[in-house]
Structure 1
Amino acid sequence: MTDQPAVPTDDPTVLTDRDLEVLAEQLGREPRGVVGIAARCVCGRPLVVRTAPRLPDGTPFPTTYYLTHPGAVAAASRLEAQGVMREMTERLGEDEELAAAYRRAHEHYLARRAELGQVEEIDGISAGGMPTRVKCIHVLMGHALAAGSGVNPLGDEALALVRDQWRPDRCSC
Structure 2
Amino acid sequence: MITEADRAEVARQLGREPRALRAVVHRCPIGHPTVVQTHPRLPDGSPFPTLYYLTCPRLTALVSRLEASGLMRRMTERLGADPELAAAYLAAHRAYLAERDAIEPLGTEVSAGGMPGRVKCLHVHVAHALAAGPGVNPFGDEVLALLADEWPAGPCTAH
Query: Aligned pair count?
Result: 157
Q: Does 1:136 align with 2:125?
A: no
Displacement after TM superposition at 1:157 (Å): 0.2
State the SS of the aligned residue for 1:49.
strand
1:160 alignment partner AA: A
Displacement after TM superposition at 1:164 (Å): 3.2
TM-score (norm 2): 0.94
Displacement after TM superposition at 1:57 (Å): 2.4
Residue 172 of structure 1 aligns with which residue?
156
1:17 alignment partner AA: E
2:73 alignment partner AA: R
Displacement after TM superposition at 1:128 (Å): 0.2
Question: C-alpha distance in 2, partners of 1:81/1:25?
Answer: 25
Q: Does 1:157 align with 2:142?
A: yes
Question: C-alpha distance in 2, partners of 1:106/1:119?
Answer: 15
Preserved CA contact (<8 Å) 1:106 1:130: yes
Residue 32 of structure 2 aligns with which residue?
45
Residue 4 of structure 1 aligns with which residue?
none
Residue 105 of structure 1 aligns with which residue?
92
- Identical-pair percentage: 57
Residue 20 of structure 2 aligns with which residue?
33
- 5+ residue gaps, structure 2, are none
Displacement after TM superposition at 1:43 (Å): 1.4
In the alignment, which of 34, 40, 58 is matched to residue 45 of structure 2? 58
TM-score (norm 1): 0.87
Residue 71 of structure 2 aligns with which residue?
84
Preserved CA contact (<8 Å) 1:80 1:137: yes
Displacement after TM superposition at 1:170 (Å): 6.0
- 5+ residue gaps, structure 1, are 1-12
Pick 1 or 2: higher relative contact order, CA cutoff 8 A, min separation 6.
1
State the SS of the aligned residue for 2:23.
strand
Question: C-alpha distance in 1, partners of 2:132/2:101?
Answer: 15
Displacement after TM superposition at 1:38 (Å): 1.2
Preserved CA contact (<8 Å) 1:43 1:171: no
1:79 alignment partner AA: L
Preserved CA contact (<8 Å) 1:60 1:119: yes
